[in-house]
Structure 1
Amino acid sequence: MKTRAAISKAPHEPLVIEEVEVDEPRSDEVRVRVVASGICHTDAIIRDQWYPVPQPVVLGHEGAGIVEQVGAEVTGLEVGDKVVLGPSFCGQCEQCLSGHPMYCTNFYDQNFGVRRTDGSTAFSAADGTPVGSHFFGQSSFAEHTNVVARSIVKVADDAPLDLLGPLGCGIMTGAGAVLNVLRPEAGGSIAVFGTGAVGMAGMLAAKAAGVSTIIMVDIVDERLKFAEELGATHVVNSQSADPVEAIKDITGAGVDYALDTTGVPAVFSQMTKSLGIRGHGALVGAAKLGTEAQFDIGTLLLSGINVSMVIEGDAVPKEFIPRLISLHQQGLFPFDKLTKTYGFDEINTAFDDSAKGATLKPIITY
């Protein structure tokens, strides 16, 4: 069948909306009519080739939609089901089998290979040229797409699909880093570096977990004010104050937990130094391959801190996404306040607004 898709053709260039041919879903795939898709920082850095992903390619990895066709070997999904699309994983390696599919041994090929394992793509241009597909198993910047079934999460018939897509990556990453990795105790303290959608999701998760001291760090006063409105107890503008000193002034000895959503080396170092004794910090911010950060092993040796590198919130999507939906329904995780909706034809405007910080979490609706 034919469908419209937003294609990334060159680094730093706008996506181009064109009609493409979609092939038949394989036996382990499902064809989904995409209702909406979030835009994530990862889409932008892949467009700009921070990671060597072949172009042309259809990006998008925060999709939500309705099942239109089911492969012969797929179970548990039917035509008409509402679904949220998560990252891809092999389901067979040691990490997948031990409950950590976001650390799948084959994660890079599954999510950044933009080909099936047999080398084929789901999309092709009008002249028959292959167009990369299966980005994070889904390539959701298309009105219709073929998705690896194991990464699909079925949701309720009344689920708001125009909102839920970001639960498949950005929101899951921030919230999962807090709830699945840091696992803060009620009454504890946390510092979150970065007030983008991932950082705000981490903050909302910390609040839902009962953390009593929530410190947000950023350089944009408007974002920090918004963080206070959503539940931050303290904010620090790191351009006007040393965040490590400010955090220790607030807590007395450093925070119990910390989250770096920026991927900026200097910020990562600040995060490690802001932790109290036996504190636990997590990095989720993506940086270019080969990026290094200073880590003061001489001073920090005595602190007993832990630092975790976290992908996709170390989540099991079929368990964690329904958990976040439940928290949202209870009013405990209002991630909808982070979003703004754009039409498909406005996709490049949405990318620009996200890059400028004008929108925390853009969602494209089809």
Structure 2
Amino acid sequence: MTAGRAAVLEAPGELLVTDVEFADPGPGEVLVRLVASGLCHTDLGVIAGGIPFPSPGIIGHEGAGIVDRVGEGVTGLAVGDKVLLSFTSCGSCEACDSAHPAYCETWLPRNLLGMLRPEGSADVTRNGTPVASHFFGQSSFGQYAIADERSAVKVDAGADLTVLAPLGCGVLTGFGSMWNVLDPGEGDIVAVYGAGAVGLSAVIAAAQRNPSQLIAIDLVDERLRLAEEFGATATINAGTEDVGARLAELTGGRGVSLSFDTTGNPRVARGALDAAAVRGTVLVCGAPPPGTEIPVDIQGILSGKVLRGVTMGDTDPATLIPLLIALHAEGKLPLERLEKRYPLDEIGRAADDMHHGITVKPVIVF
């Protein structure tokens, strides 16, 4: 057993930083001493009770740290390795075999629900009583995490783990969704709805493809200014402007060829569909409460419009994370402009700041 502290979700809206015990890693697992962990909107959804996860439990899924112990069968990692933690997958289904692990047949129970764990997987306990963990194969809101080997991506010994922590989900999702799925070209008109960490990462990715227009939409002027800094050619404040009318004006009535809705709000997705061009694509991500539906006018999509969903940017973390690290080193992925650091004891304030748009990407430091 390894003693440490963690932010335990006791019930919706109730995070308590408390002492816990981390068992030795089981087969295929590593014990990671965390240096930092990003806080993601999916975490906020769980904290608010909109996304189911057992309680008391530990969430968090953008961990970054150093391997402290390795379990049986682990071959790709060793004690002392620096790692970034991302989502987990089975590694053997058709999607995993074809380099699409975000669409693993068992992705949902392995990652979001905390219900499917490998045989012999190690537990986190508090006073001898198990605490739910293994969120996204890691549960990184603690000083340690018991992580699947498949959740961990080894990085260089000199890597700044605190800066790079958000790569595991938010940045990976936004960048990957634009880079891998929408794949804009120079003739495309691109719109990104929501300029949080996911949306801004998508803006950064799109800007590198030089589309004819790159439009960012949000409610917070400071985030829109960041989007312009990162390459947006125009911005729209959805709180003060008519988004549909502005998009029609900006596109000369043509509509948007590639839209990315990061908000998880069905009204936003419907608006993106209405504003889409003939044969345009609207890509949606996020984790709204189960049962959330997007209203679709069938007549409105008969012009070849496509509504498509995406999980984790349809990425293989082992492939995309090294690319993101390289782009950061080249100054093309300015993570520092998104981040604000908080100690573990202030994780509640970090969540509130993110919820209210004060901070784009909180990073919990240990």
TM-score bracket for this pair, using the shorter chain length: over 0.9
Q: 1:343 maps to what in 2? A: 343
Q: How far apart are the structure 2 equivalents of 1:23 and 1:235? A: 49
1:220-241 CA distance string (max 9 Å, x none): 2232233223321101122333
316-325 vs 107-116, greater mean Cα deviation: 107-116
Q: 1:230 maps to what in 2? A: 230
What is the Cα deviation at residue 121 of structure 1?
A: 5.3
What is the Cα deviation at residue 57 of structure 1?
A: 0.5
Q: 1:287 maps to what in 2? A: 288
What is the Cα deviation at residue 187 of structure 1?
A: 4.5
Letter paired with 2:185: E
Q: 1:240 maps to what in 2? A: 240
- Look up the SS of the partner of 1:57 in the other structure: coil
CA contact (8 A) 1:194 1:216 kept: yes
Distance 1:331 1:188, change over 3 A: farther
- Look up the SS of the partner of 2:259 in the other structure: strand
What is the Cα deviation at residue 219 of structure 1?
A: 2.1
1:282-329 CA distance string (max 9 Å, x none): 101221111112212102202x12222011111000001111111111
What is the Cα deviation at residue 118 of structure 1?
A: 4.2
Q: 1:125 maps to what in 2? A: 126
Q: 2:206 maps to what in 1? A: 206
Letter paired with 1:56: P
What is the Cα deviation at residue 106 of structure 1?
A: 0.5
What is the Cα deviation at residue 51 of structure 1?
A: 2.4
Q: How far apart are the structure 1 equivalents of 2:113 and 2:310? A: 20
Q: How far apart are the structure 1 equivalents of 2:33 and 2:293? A: 41
Q: Which runs of 5+ in 1 are unaligned?
A: none
Percentage of matched positions with identical amino acids? 45
CA contact (8 A) 1:214 1:233 kept: yes
Letter paired with 1:355: H
TM-score (norm 2): 0.95
What does residue range 48-87 of structure 1 map to in structure 2 within 5 Å?
48-87=48-87
Q: 1:359 maps to what in 2? A: 359
Q: How many residue pairs were aligned? A: 363
Q: How far apart are the structure 1 equivalents of 2:120 and 2:67? A: 24
Q: How far apart are the structure 2 equivalents of 1:52 and 1:277? A: 38
What does residue range 98-177 of structure 1 map to in structure 2 within 5 Å?
98-114=98-114, 116-118=117-119, 122-126=123-127, 128-177=128-177
CA contact (8 A) 1:269 1:294 kept: yes
- Look up the SS of the partner of 1:259 in the other structure: strand
Letter paired with 2:290: L
- Look up the SS of the partner of 1:32 in the other structure: strand
CA contact (8 A) 1:9 1:56 kept: yes
- Look up the SS of the partner of 1:4 in the other structure: strand
Letter paired with 1:145: A
The answer as to 2:188 corresponding to 1:181 is no
188-197 vs 54-63, greater mean Cα deviation: 188-197
What is the Cα deviation at residue 10 of structure 1?
A: 0.6
Letter paired with 2:240: S
Q: How far apart are the structure 2 equivalents of 1:152 and 1:120? A: 16
What is the Cα deviation at residue 212 of structure 1?
A: 3.7
What does residue range 294-333 of structure 1 map to in structure 2 within 5 Å?
294-302=295-303, 304-333=304-333
1:73-129 CA distance string (max 9 Å, x none): 111211111110010111111211122111111111111343534486521001x11
Q: How far apart are the structure 2 equivalents of 1:365 and 1:107? A: 28
Q: How far apart are the structure 1 equivalents of 2:222 and 2:110? A: 38
CA contact (8 A) 1:121 1:130 kept: no
Distance 1:28 1:120, change over 3 A: closer
CA contact (8 A) 2:31 2:69 kept: yes
230-239 vs 356-365, greater mean Cα deviation: 230-239
1:22-71 CA distance string (max 9 Å, x none): 11101210111100000011111112222221101011100000111112
Q: Alpha carbon RMSD of aligned pairs, Å?
A: 1.5
What is the Cα deviation at residue 8 of structure 1?
A: 0.4
65-74 vs 29-38, greater mean Cα deviation: 65-74
Q: How far apart are the structure 2 equivalents of 1:175 and 1:362? A: 18
Q: How far apart are the structure 2 equivalents of 1:323 and 1:80? A: 22
Letter paired with 1:45: G
What is the Cα deviation at residue 195 of structure 1?
A: 1.2
Q: How far apart are the structure 1 equivalents of 2:326 and 2:216? A: 25
CA contact (8 A) 2:8 2:17 kept: yes
Q: 2:8 maps to what in 1? A: 7
1:196-218 CA distance string (max 9 Å, x none): 11111111111122224111112
TM-score (norm 1): 0.95
- Look up the SS of the partner of 1:272 in the other structure: helix
Letter paired with 1:203: V
Letter paired with 1:131: V
286-295 vs 315-324, greater mean Cα deviation: 286-295
Letter paired with 2:256: V
Q: 2:257 maps to what in 1? A: 256
- Look up the SS of the partner of 2:247 in the other structure: helix
